[in-house]
Structure 1
Amino acid sequence: MLSIGEFSKICEVSTKTLRYYDEIGLIHPDEINPENGYRYYSIKQLKKMLFINRLKSYYFSLEEIKDILEWEQDKSEERLYVALNLKKREIQEKLRTYEFTLKQINNDVINLEKGIPMMSYLNEIKVQLVETQPMNILFTRQMLSSDDYTLGYGHYFSRLYEKIATDKLTLLGTPITIYHSEEYNPAGNDTEFALPIEEIVKGTRELREGLCAKSVYKGPYSELTSVYAKLTEWIENEGYDLVSSPYEKYITDPTQTTDPEDLVTEVYFPVKKRS
């Protein structure tokens, strides 16, 4: 048996952390002396602790690691394979985001050296007035927190695509996200995912036609806030009012490109002329 100090030294995990892991049920001491409360770990627990450390180094949360440890033995390897691949894609996405951020910083530094204001890129976002046609959309509507967006988009659109395939429906366009919340709330936002289809069936509704202020943006989704700011400024300056929820059309399939700068998104603000 190893004392908590010896176990801590070998695994390079503080005794404070080991006590916390015990509290949350991640790894318990194999034995606790009832007289003095000293904690002891078995040699076989070294492997478990190293496994926990490895998953932590892969940016799994403690909750995720706890779930993995609780999987049934006969299916654990298969499920671990899936979990590792999902984490791999998550990290790759973060790396692409960091690469884009570095490129942005470099561009801002170069522009500032030339005397060009940092926010001048907003002037490059163009706005046009368009008349949209009515669309029959297959939809699902959810309350999503900011942390849910990335995974939520793929999950809910996948369910809509599955229904189209299962019911042999006719897809007419690219995915749409409609934002119904009046204000941003990190805890949850009213978000509608939709696909235009031909058939009018249960789960469809009409996205009405109307006048819209529209911008087309090429780049990562994280930068769409700039487009929203530009559209808001434009409708104010041009004497229009927003009359219903803004929405986005994803012209580029994000699964078909590894470069966020290749993503093309159309943003629509339904408007009317101010009286």
Structure 2
Amino acid sequence: MLSIGEFSKICGVSTKTLRYYAEVGLIHPEEINPESGYRYYSIRQLKKMLFINRLKSYHFSLDEIRSLLEWEEDQADERVGRALQRKIGELQQKMDAYAYTMEQMKRDAVQLENGIPMMAYLEHIEVQLVETPPMNLLYTRQLLRVEDYAGGYGPYFSRLYEQVAKKGLTLLGTPITIYHSPEFNPAGNDTEFAIPVMEIVTGTRDFPGGLCAKSVLRGPYSEMTSVHARLREWIENEGFELSKAPYEVYVTNPAESAVPADIVTEVYFPVRKK
């Protein structure tokens, strides 16, 4: 048996962390002396601890690691393999985003060297006044916290597409997100996910068309706040006001775009003259 200090030294994990791992059910001491409270780990637990360390180095959360540890040994390898593939995809997206950010920083640095203000790019975001047609939307409406946004919209749109297939509906467009909350609230925002369909069935609603200020974002979603800011500036300068909730149309699927610069999102702000 190894004392918690010896186990800690071999695995490169502090005794404080080991105690926390025991609290959250990740790895428990093999034995605890009832009189002294000293904790002891077996040699065979070294493999488990190194496995945990390896997954942590792969950016798995403790909850994800605990879930993988709960599987029976004969199913664990297959489960871990699938988890690794998912994590590879997640990390690739982050790497692509970092690469895009790096190029953006380089462009900003060059512009500043040439005497061009860093925020001058806002003036080049084009805005059009368009008349949009009415749509019939298959939708779901959720109160989303900040963590939900970070997790992406995939699960919500996936459920809608499942309904499309189950009910045999005819698609008439790409996914849409409508933002109903009047202000941003980290505790929860009223967000509607929708897909335009032909058939009027349970779970669909009429979405009236109308006059909109429209812009197009070509790039990662992290740039969306700039487009929203430019649209509000344009609306104010042109004597309009927002009439309904703004919405976004995903021309390309962000989850399937290998290069962030290839992502295309249309942004609509319904407006009326003041």
SS of the equivalent of 1:248 reads strand
2:250 is the counterpart of 1:250: yes
Deviation at 1:176, TM superposition (A): 0.7
2:233 corresponding residue in structure 1: 233
Report the Cα distance in structure 1 between the residues aligned to 2:151 and 2:202, rounded to whole angstroms.
Answer: 25
What's the C-alpha RMSD, in Å, of the aligned pairs?
A: 1.4
1:159 corresponding residue in structure 2: 159
Q: Which amino acid aligns with 1:108?
A: D
Q: Which amino acid aligns with 1:141?
A: R
Q: Residues 177-208 of structure 1: CA distance to partner in whole angstroms, max 9, x if unpaired?
A: 11111111222211111111111011101111
Equivalent positions of 1:181-260 (< 5 A) are: 181-260=181-260
Q: Residues 71-98 of structure 1: CA distance to partner in whole angstroms, max 9, x if unpaired?
A: 3444333322222222111111111111
2:77 corresponding residue in structure 1: 77
1:265 corresponding residue in structure 2: 265
SS of the equivalent of 1:155 reads helix
Deviation at 1:257, TM superposition (A): 2.3
Q: Which amino acid aligns with 2:13?
A: V
Report the Cα distance in structure 2 between the residues aligned to 1:236 and 1:50, rounded to whole angstroms.
Answer: 58
Q: Which moved more, 1:135-144 or 1:115-124?
A: 135-144
2:175 corresponding residue in structure 1: 175
Q: Is the 8 A contact 1:144 1:152 kept in 2?
A: no
Q: Provide the aligned length of Structure 1 versus Structure 2.
A: 274
Report the Cα distance in structure 2 between the residues aligned to 1:232 and 1:192, rounded to whole angstroms.
Answer: 21
Q: Residues 75-133 of structure 1: CA distance to partner in whole angstroms, max 9, x if unpaired?
A: 33332222222211111111111111111111111110000000000011011111111
1:66 corresponding residue in structure 2: 66
SS of the equivalent of 1:40 reads strand
1:51 corresponding residue in structure 2: 51
Q: Which runs of 5+ in 2 are unaligned?
A: none
SS of the equivalent of 2:205 reads strand
1:93 corresponding residue in structure 2: 93
SS of the equivalent of 1:194 reads strand
2:139 corresponding residue in structure 1: 139
SS of the equivalent of 2:27 reads coil
TM-score normalised to structure 1 length: 0.95
2:35 is the counterpart of 1:40: no
Tell me the percent identity: 67
Label 1:64 to 1:266 Cα distance change in 2 as closer, same or farther (>3 A): same
Report the Cα distance in structure 1 between the residues aligned to 2:256 and 2:93, rounded to whole angstroms.
Answer: 13
Deviation at 1:32, TM superposition (A): 1.5
Report the Cα distance in structure 2 between the residues aligned to 1:84 and 1:187, rounded to whole angstroms.
Answer: 31
Q: Which amino acid aligns with 2:191?
A: T
2:21 corresponding residue in structure 1: 21
Report the Cα distance in structure 2 between the residues aligned to 1:253 and 1:205, rounded to whole angstroms.
Answer: 23
Deviation at 1:147, TM superposition (A): 2.4
Equivalent positions of 1:102-113 (< 5 A) are: 102-113=102-113
Q: Residues 187-243 of structure 1: CA distance to partner in whole angstroms, max 9, x if unpaired?
A: 221111111111101110111111101111211111011000001111111111101
Q: Which amino acid aligns with 1:37?
A: G
Report the Cα distance in structure 2 between the residues aligned to 1:109 and 1:141, rounded to whole angstroms.
Answer: 42
Report the Cα distance in structure 1 between the residues aligned to 2:217 and 2:254, rounded to whole angstroms.
Answer: 14
Moved over 4 A (4+): none
Report the Cα distance in structure 1 between the residues aligned to 2:143 and 2:269, rounded to whole angstroms.
Answer: 21
Q: Which amino acid aligns with 1:118?
A: M
Q: Which amino acid aligns with 1:86?
A: R
